[in-house]
Amino acid sequence: MKKIIITGIAGFIGSNLVKSLVKKNIIIGIDNINKYYGIKLKESRLSKLEKYDTFLFKKGDLSNKVFIDSLFKEYKPDIVINLAAQAGVRYSIDNPQAYIDSNIVGFFNVLEACRKYPVEHLVYASSSSVYGSNKKVPYSTGDKVDNPVSLYAATKKSNELMAHAYSKLYDIPTTGLRFFTVYGPAGRPDMAYFKFTNKMVKGEKIQIYNHGDMYRDFTYIDDIVDGVSKVM
């Protein structure tokens, strides 16, 4: 059995990934259970994971270097999957510090821990937001992504650059995954599809930006989990 550290395990993607991997691996799960959206939903996801004997939960923040170092030193994971991040594009406008702490400092601490305690593979969540104002569709991993339109996107692009540097400097195998909007049961309540559905049920108008000239890609949660599992 592999020892896998997964961050953000009380989140939508993280909790589903743990359920997929926990029967054949030892999972050390990390989450700070922040208040970005309903804590009860996160606690409900977590409660379903704690029944597994091969799952261990550690509450803490990625920006706490001592916390991260101690976990890596104690458990020496084979694989690390970093899904923890401060999410939300609009939220980043009013709360930029949260994104620097979690997405930049936190990811740096994970990279440093992988350097000190070598791992077979670091898989991390990037985001489709890195494509910014690109007009070309469909998107490609080879597209230029130097024009982020939000601080959230800028932190995710920074993650890709940081991982690339650590991979080259310290021979750490890394893979970044640019997730597009993920949907499914018990998904994030702040996502557009939930907001649209609630407005339709209430008979309210849905506000559309950019004169309605916009497109959105969605990915079902099971496909995300399958993709991460195959990559790692």
Select from 231, 191, 166, 210 the least CA-distant residue to 41.
191
User: Which of 91, 124, 131, 152 is an active site residue?
Assistant: 152
Tell me which residue has tokens 């999410």: 87
Tell me the backbone φ, ψ of residue 122, rounded to 5 degrees.
Answer: -110, 115
Distance of CA 125 to the CA centre of its chain: 4
Tell me the CB-side half-sphere exposure of residue 85, using CA atoms within 13 A.
28
d(CA 220, CA 174): 24
CB–CB of 28/75 below 8 Å?
A: yes
Q: Is 124 considered catalytic here?
A: no
d(CA 62, CA 141): 27
Tell me the CB-side half-sphere exposure of residue 160, using CA atoms within 13 A.
18
Active site residues: 152
